[in-house]
Amino acid sequence: MLMPIRCFTCGAVVADKWEEYDKRVNKENENPGKVLDELGVKRYCCRRMFLSNNDLLEEFMESSRK
Q: What CATH number did the domain enclosing 53 receive?
A: 1.10.10.60
- Dihedral sign for Cα 44, 39, 23, 6, please: positive
Question: Is residue 3 in a domain?
Answer: no
Residue 62 CB neighbours (<10 A)? 9
Q: How many folded domains does the chain comprise? A: 1
Is residue 62 over pLDDT 90?
A: no
Binding positions for Zn(2+): 7, 10, 45-46
CA 11/CA 32 separation, integer angstroms: 21
CA 25/CA 33 separation, integer angstroms: 10
Q: Pinpoint the alpha helices (H) of 3-56.
A: 18-22, 32-39, 44-51
Binding positions: 7, 10, 45-46
Q: Which amino acid is at 10?
A: C
Residue 27's domain comprises: 15-65
Is residue 2 over pLDDT 90?
A: no
Identify the pLDDT of residue 59. Answer: 78
Question: Is residue 1 in a domain?
Answer: no
